[in-house]
Amino acid sequence: MNTPSCHAIEPNYNPFINREISVLAFNRRVLTMALNNDYPLLERLRYLCISSSNLDEFFEIRYASLLELAKDPDARTKPDGIRPVDALAQVNETAHTLVNDQYDTLQNIVLPALEDAGVRFLRRDRWTDEISTWVADYFDNELQPLLTPLGLDPSHPFPRLLNKSLNFIVPMSGRDAFGRLGELAVVQVPRALPRIIQLPAMLTGNAHDFIFLSSVIHANVQKLFPGMEVKGCYQFRVTRNSNLFVDEEEVDDLLTALQGELSSRKYGNAVRLEVADNCPDNIADYLLQRFRLPANALFKVNGPVNLHRLSTVPDMVARPDLLFTPYTPSVPAVFEDAGSLECKVCSIFDTLKAQDILLHHPFESFAPVVNFIRQAASDDQVLAIRMTLYRTGSNSAIVEALEQAAKRGKEVTAVIELRARFDEDNNIQQATRLQEAGAHVVYGVVGYKTHAKMISVLRKEVTGLKYYTHLGTGNYHAGTARVYTDFGLITSAADIGRDVNRIFQQLTSFANVTDLEVLWQAPHTLHRNIKAAIAQEAANAQAGKPARIIAKMNGLQQRDVIEALYAASQAGVQIDLIVRGMCSLRPGVAGLSENIRVRSILGRFLEHHRVFYFENNDKPMIWLASADWMSRNLLSRVETCFPIRDPELAKRVFDEALNVYLKDTNSWQLCSNGDYIQQQQDGDTAFSAQQTLIEKHHK
């Protein structure tokens, strides 16, 4: 294997990499997955769509926040401490290049490759007369009745357009039935309409021929303006600030306040304008003025303005050869021995008395977690169930089990984080559902998102009340558990049970308990203990004792932690960081971080678990957490970090979450200058951590 070398860092470097630039670098890596010939074609299309949807969220949240920050001339970004206006300039340049490359990948690589495989997207210049006739009929019967063109004049001002909605601006000439001079109109496309339309196989002779909705409208737009001369038709989309602004200290009911704010999210301030690349400059300038945007907020694109809509194509094409081979998660042996997931021979509580259960998703099934809740709901000895819910998805089996437990008279408490970004509406619905079933529903602590993943089951047994606890690194969402790598620990350890119960007391009442027996908790002890553990490794290294840090997470930005890692590196500690997404730490700098290596790994599954390993003078400690090493996680959220104390389970976590990933030849190396370099591999040396884990759990 040959790893390309990194470029040297400039002399006057900033010791921290800008957060927003690092996020864009992550989206660049996702886009590169669409170029990987080793992946099936429709999966490569998915990666392209993910890169696009990630960028949408970046503009809605991160870029919008930067714009707000830039209003304060004294403000600085964290942790790099530069002026927001300077960060915006860098972001704009990087984002424009990224978008151009996305569309180049679509038009010149992915779509041609799909066509070679028999999946075609037909432009209008390739339509036969038969296709044109079919499209005209489709427009007349399926589209036109739902389209409401809006002429722009003093009595018809520019419409209020939804965030990320598809629209067309249509220049024209002539006079209408009232003698009004027509110049411009806007056509808004309802979100219910499909953006990709499959042509009948009998019409084209090919089973997988598609056209874009935008092409259908372009070809038939004249029908919307009879008697007028249409001079063009240009698609556009505006992205808006989607941050929610709720002053939690000034509202009496957070749920009601959020419900009101959700509707306004669709119409926040504009932050980006996308238009077709054939849109004339005067039309694009007009739109920029309407949305009060500067010139650098304009993105001219060669293709549909919302690439994410192409993500429906894999489900529309019956071509399993163009998709990943289906994968069924394994069931842990402890459940297989019982003959079924319901564990007919014994209850899960009997099993937990003898051993802890560690689950590694998606390689292992999420069903045992669901069944843990179901058994608790149906077990007459279970008195209480307490649980945090951040993202659950609709039709959640876990929420259904909690609902049934409440109806059976058990004390059920659900701490639902209403502010889980873009899941607020679903969480409000789940909260209402559980309240109606008789559960206690609370929304955490004002000013702190509840991001911890915890289940506490209190069971009355012969020996007294006993806690059974689940702690995880990921959400209680059956869908994401199939594609996110996460760990979950189910245990009957009394000290962990007491700690989790104390955290629930904090969340539901006014308990003033911050020092726990075992767990590290944000915002109280997690930040402090992580820094202390890093400092201890530094002290061990200076004393000539074994010292090593390996940490895996989704993001690294918190300045104090980064500075502690720099100090540990200077003390001689060897540090390996596996950071999937953004990373503000600058590795490999002489005299600062020469002993730190940072790699990012992307693959079939989304790397999501947080695992922290400290050598601790030959007495290794392994911690799993719901928290990344980000300021928001460590300082302004409720998070949990828990140890894996069983030696066999600790070895398994080390092997499956750290050691195997350090061997992965698909990784990207973060250079000291902020660039990411992908390792080069050949068939003999290629090694995939995810594929290795798939094979391991199917032996």
**Which tokens belong to 449?**
């998102």
Span 407-442, pLDDT tens digits: 999 999 999 887 655 566 777 778 888 888 888 988
Q: What pLDDT is recorded for position 248?
A: 44
Cα pseudo-dihedral 649, 655, 657, 659, rounded to 10: 150
DSSP letter string over 103-124? Answer: HHHIIIIIHHHHHHTT-EE--G
**Which tokens belong to 623?**
């911690």
Q: What pLDDT is recorded for position 344?
A: 44
Q: Give the bridge partners for 643, in sequence order.
A: 623
pLDDT > 80? residue 8: no
**Which tokens belong to 209?**
């021929």
Distance CA 565, CA 677 (A): 22
pLDDT > 60? residue 611: yes
Superfamily of domain 521-696: Endonuclease Chain A (3.30.870.10)
> How is residue 324 annotated by DSSP?
P
Where is average pLDDT lowest: 47-61, 255-269, 510-524?
255-269
pLDDT > 80? residue 177: no
Span 436-463, pLDDT tens digits: 888 898 887 878 889 999 999 999 999 9
Cα pseudo-dihedral 571, 577, 583, 588, rounded to 10: 50
pLDDT > 80? residue 291: yes
Chain CA centroid to CA 409, Å? 36
Distance CA 630, CA 584 (A): 10
Distance CA 176, CA 435 (A): 56
| CATH code, residues 101-322 | 3.30.1840.10
> How is residue 671 annotated by DSSP?
P
Q: Mean per-residue pLDDT for 56-66?
A: 94
- Which class in CATH covers the domain with range 333-514? alpha beta
Q: What pLDDT is recorded for position 258?
A: 46
Q: Where in the chain is the domain with CATH 3.30.1840.10?
A: 101-322
Distance CA 34, CA 497 (A): 45
Where is average pLDDT lowest: 338-352, 378-392, 555-569?
338-352
Residue, of 419 and 273, whose pLDDT is higher: 273
Q: For residue 69, which amino acid is it?
A: L
Q: Do the Cβ atoms of 361 and 474 come closer than 8 Å?
A: yes
pLDDT > 70? residue 250: no
Q: Give the bridge partners for 236, in sequence order.
A: 167, 275
Q: What pLDDT is recorded for position 670?
A: 97
At residue 665, φ and ψ (nearest 5 deg) are: -90, 0
Residues of the chain above pLDDT 90, percent: 77
Three-state DSSP class for residue 355: coil
Q: Do the Cβ atoms of 667 and 688 come closer than 8 Å?
A: no
First to last CA, the chain: 28
Q: Exposed, middle or buried, 350 (CB in 10 Å: 0-12/13-18/19+)? A: exposed
Q: Do the Cβ atoms of 33 and 44 come closer than 8 Å?
A: yes
Q: Which of 91-95, 156-160, 416-420, 423-427 has the highest mean pLDDT?
A: 91-95
pLDDT > 60? residue 252: no
Distance CA 612, CA 554 (A): 12
pLDDT > 80? residue 561: yes
Q: Where in the chain is the domain with CATH 3.30.870.10?
A: 333-514, 521-696
Span 331-370, pLDDT tens digits: 887 776 543 444 444 588 998 999 999 999 999 999 999 9
Q: Is 143 left (phi over 0), alpha (psi -120 to 50) or beta?
A: alpha
Q: What pLDDT is recorded for position 338?
A: 43
Q: Do the Cβ atoms of 151 and 169 come closer than 8 Å?
A: no
Q: Do the Cβ atoms of 419 and 244 come closer than 8 Å?
A: yes
Taking the whole predicted model, whether its pTM rises above 0.85 is answered as yes
Contact residues for 312 (Cβ-Cβ < 8 A; gap 6+): 194, 195, 196
Instruction: Indicate the pairing of strand 484-491 with strand 184-188.
Output: unpaired
User: Mind telling me the catalytic residues?
Assistant: 451
Length of the chain measured in residues: 699
Angle between helices 367-378 and 397-407 (to 10 degrees): 10
